[in-house]
A and B are shown apart, each in its own frame.
Chain A
Amino acid sequence: MEAPLLHLALVGTPNSGKTSLFNALTGSRQKVANYPGVTVERKEGFFVTPAGRQVSLVDLPGTYSLRGRSPDEEITRDMVLGRTPGEAVPDLILCVADATNLRLTIRLLLELKNTGRPMMLVLNMFDIAARRGVSVDVPKLSEALGVPVVTSIAVRKGGIAELLRRTDEIAAQEQSPVGPNRWQPLTASQLRATQREADRIIASAVSLPAKPDTWTARIDAVVLHPVAGLFILALILFLMFQAVFAWAQPLMELLSSAFDALGQFVHDTLPEGLLQSFLQNGVISGVGSVIVFLPQIIIIFLFILLLEDFGYMARAAFLMDRIMGGAGLHGRAFIPLLSSFACAIPGIMATRVIDNRRDRLTTILIAPLMTCSARIPVYTLIISAFIPDRDVWGWFNLRGLVLFGLYAAGITSALGVSFLVKFFMLRDYAPAPFMLELPDYKLPRLKSIAIGVYTRAKMFLQRAGTTIFSMMVLIWFLASFPTAPTGAQDPAIDYSLAAIIGKAIEPLLAPLGFNWQIAVALIPGMAAREVAVAALGTVYAIEGGKEAADQIGHVLATKWSLATALSLLVWYIFAPQCASTLAVIRRETGGWRWMAVTFFYMLTLAYLASFATYNIAVALGAG
C-alpha cells in the first residue's frame, strides 16, 4: 500500500534562507498559486524521500511571530494552526534558521512549540556558520529546545541528505507526536520572556565569534555610506538598464530571425490563402514578436533575483527611506516598486509588506508607473526603429540612454504623483515606522536563482501562449475581414473591421500623432502592453503584403514620423494599458474606487504628456 502524501510546511523569519531550501528540496517541481480569497502567494513543491515517501512542501510567508500583523503573516499563523479552510494541517513543520543568526528564529520556534505541531529545526547555511567560527552543539540545542535539529547546506549537493533522512524517520513513527494547541497571541512581556529564554538556550549551546561577519561589515562600509552608497545604487540601476538593452540584443536577433525563417517557411510551403495568412501573419509574426523579448525579461528578473539573494534589496530600502519619505513614500515601498520594474502585478502584491494602509495605497497607485518588462517590447521596437545606434560621450549607447530616460521619466512621475497624493489627499498622518533586518551578505545561490528565473520565464511564455495568442487571433481576424472587394486599389486591410474600428477612434488620438493602425493596436494592448507590438506586427504584415517578411521595425520607420514615435513612447510611460494590473489593484484595495482612480489619472497623464511631446516634436521639425 502506498503511504499517504506527507504534508510539510516551511516556517522561518525573513532572510532565513527558506526559499533556497525550498528550491533545493523541490527543484522545479513547484506550483505557484494564491490562497483562496486572498492574494498571498502560495508556493507548493513536491519531492520524494529516500524511503520513497511522497512529500508536499508548502513555503509559508516569512514572519517573526505568529501575531499575524499582515495578510501574509495571518496565512502563516492559520496554516500552522490548521485553520485555513481546504488546506491540510502540516504533518511536520520545518522551522528554518540561518545558522549564523539564530536569535530571532529560536524565539519564533519557542512560540511555534505552543501550537503542539510536530516540528524540526533546520539550521540552514551551516557551512557558512562554521566558516565564520559559529559552533553549534547540535544535540545540546535539540535537547534544550525539545525538537529534532538537523543541519543543512541548501546550496550544496547532498547538503540536505540528513534533513531527508530525519523526515523519513519522523514519518515512519507510528503515532505522530501531535500535542494540544496551547498557542495564544503573546503579550509584550511574554514576548520578552521568550526572547530571554531563546538567548539563554543559545548561550548554552552555541558559541559565537567575537567579531561579526567581516565581509558584510566591509561591504556595508561602502554600500551604506551616505554618499558612496547612493552612487552605487544609481550605478547598479543604470547597469541593469544598459544590460537589458545591450546584452539581450544578439539573442533577440537570433530569435527574431528564427521566427522570420519560420514565417517564410510557412509562406513557401502552404498555398496562398487564408490558412497561410493566418499562420504567417496571425500566429508566427504576432506571437513571435512578443517571444523575441524573452531574453530581456530574463535579464531583468536575473538582476532583481541576484540583488535580492545577495542581500542588497534591504540596503537599497535603507538608503532610499528618507529620500522616498520626501515624496511621501515608505522605505519598504522600495522593494515593491523595484519589483514593479519586472511587472506591476507582483509589485502591487508585494506592497503587503507595508502594514500602514495609506503608505500601501500610495505605493499601489504609483507602482504601475514603474517601467515594467511588458513595456520593454514596445520601447525597444520603437527605439531601434527610430533612434540611431551610435555612441555618445565615448561609452554610452544612445539607444541605452533613451531607454534609461524612459525609465527615469517613469520614476520621476511616480515620485511626483506620490508627493501630490501625500500633499492633497492624505495630509494628516504620522509616518509609519520603518524597521527592517539587514541580512548578512551571501553569495547568490545560482541554482535557486536559475529556478526563480525559469519560473518567471515560464509564466511569460504561458502568457504568450494564451492571452497574447488569443488576442493575436482576434487581431488577425479583424484585420483580414471583410476581404477587399475585387479590383480594389488600396491595401486589403483598408476594408477590414480593424480599419473601421481604428478610424473611428483615430480622431481622439490624432492630436497625439497616432494613426489608425496605432489606435487599433492599443485596444488589444489593454490585455497586455506587449500585445500592442504583436498587433502592430499583424496589422502591418497584412497591410504590407509582399513586404511581410520584413522586420516590423523597418516597416514602422517608413510609416511613422519621429514625432509619432516619440509620442507613442511617452504614451507608454503613463498609459494604464494593462487589464491585469487594474484587476490586481481592485483586488488588493478591496473595491473599484482606487482602480478607477488609477485608470483615470494614468490616462490623463498619458494623454497630456503625449500631446505635449507630439506638438513639441512637430514644432522642432520632427513631424
Chain B
Amino acid sequence: MSEQTDIRTSQPLGLAKRGYSGVIQHLAVAEAASALAGHELESRLIELGFVEGARVEVLHEGIVGRDPIAVRVENVTIALRRREAMAIIVA
C-alpha cells in the first residue's frame, strides 16, 4: 500500500453510491473479479481515462442491483459494471 492511501476514507469505486465524488488513488486490478487478465483490465481502464488523480463522480445506476454505473471521469462519462469498478480505488 502506498503512503498517500488513507485507509479510513479510500474505497473501491465499485462500492460507491450514486452521487459519490472523489479522486482516483490507484488501480488495484487484482481486487476486481473481472473476466479480463489484470494487465488488460488496467490498460482498458487507463484508455478510458481512469488514471491516478482523475476526479470521478457516480452519476447514474442501473435498475438491477444498482448496476452498471455511469461515472463522470474528468469531463467524460463512462458506463461500467461494479465488478470492474472494484479495481478503481478512490478517496
Interface of A toward B, CB cutoff 8 Å: 64-65, 67, 100-101, 103-104, 107, 186-188, 191-192, 195-196, 199, 208, 212, 216-217, 220, 224-227, 229-230, 314, 317-319, 321-323, 325-326, 331, 356, 429-440
Contacts and interface: CB of A to CB of B under 8 A. Distances in A.
B78 A437 contact: yes
Contact of B46 (A192, A317, A432): A192
Contacts of A325: 64
Contact of B63 (A230, A317, A440): A230
SS class, residues of chain B in contact with chain A? mixed
B33 A430 contact: yes
A319 B62 contact: yes
B63 A195 contact: no
A199 B50 CA distance: 12
28 contacts: A67-B43, A100-B75, A104-B47, A107-B47, A191-B43, A192-B52, A199-B54, A220-B59, A220-B60, A224-B70, A225-B60, A226-B62, A229-B63, A230-B63, A318-B68, A318-B79, A321-B67, A322-B64, A356-B35, A430-B34, A432-B36, A433-B34, A434-B68, A434-B79, A435-B44, A435-B48, A435-B78, A435-B84
Contacts of A103: 49, 74-76
Contact of B62 (A104, A318, A433): A318
B79 A101 contact: no
B51 A195 contact: yes
Interface in B25-45: 33-36, 39, 41-45
A321 B78 contact: no
Contacts of A67: 43
Given A104-B49, A192-B51, A438 B35 contact: no
Given A65-B47, A435-B48, A438-B77, A226 B61 contact: yes
Nearest to B80: A435
Q: Which 3 A-B pairs have the closest CB atoms?
A: A226-B63, A322-B64, A430-B35
A76 B76 CA distance: 23
B47 A317 contact: no
B75 A436 contact: no
A208 B64 contact: no
A415 B47 CA distance: 32
A216 B72 CA distance: 12
A433 B43 contact: no
Contact of A224 (B49, B60, B67, B80): B60
A188 B75 contact: no
Given A188-B39, A431-B81, A434-B84, 12 more contacts: A64-B47, A192-B52, A195-B49, A322-B63, A322-B64, A322-B67, A322-B68, A433-B35, A433-B36, A435-B44, A435-B48, A435-B78
B65 interface: yes
B45 to A, nearest CB: 8
Contacts of B48: 64, 104, 435, 437
Nearest to A63: B47
Interface residues of B, number: 38
Nearest to B65: A322
Nearest to B74: A103
A191 to B, nearest CB: 4
B79 A191 contact: no
Nearest to B54: A199
A65 B49 CA distance: 12
A188 B42 contact: yes
A317 B51 CA distance: 25
B63 A431 contact: no
B52 to A, nearest CB: 7
A434 B34 CA distance: 10
Nearest to B63: A226
B73 to A, nearest CB: 8
Contacts of B42: 188
Contacts of A356: 35
B64 A436 contact: no
Contacts of B68: 318, 321-322, 331, 434
B76 A436 contact: no
Nearest to B73: A103
Given A227-B63, A230-B63, A322-B62, A433 B77 contact: no
A436 B78 contact: yes
B23 to A, nearest CB: 13
A433 B79 contact: no
A400 to B, nearest CB: 28
Contacts of A217: 59
A216 B81 CA distance: 21
A433 B81 contact: yes
Contacts of B59: 217, 220, 224
Contacts of B79: 314, 317-318, 321, 331, 434-438
Nearest to B33: A430
A67 B42 CA distance: 13
B46 A195 contact: yes
A157 B72 CA distance: 33
Contacts of A191: 43, 46-47
A188 to B, nearest CB: 4
A547 to B, nearest CB: 55
Contacts of A438: 70, 77-79
Nearest to B32: A433
Given A188-B39, A227-B63, A437-B77, A318 B49 contact: no
B46 A188 contact: yes
B43 A429 contact: no
A472 B43 CA distance: 54
B70 A318 contact: yes
Contacts of B83: 431, 433
A325 B67 CA distance: 11
A331 B79 CA distance: 10
B64 A326 contact: yes
Interface string B6-17: 000000000000
Contacts of B70: 220, 224, 318, 438
Contacts of B33: 430
A40 B86 CA distance: 34
A430 to B, nearest CB: 4
B32 to A, nearest CB: 9
B17 to A, nearest CB: 14
Nearest to B66: A226
A101 B43 contact: no
Contacts of B49: 103-104, 195
A617 to B, nearest CB: 37
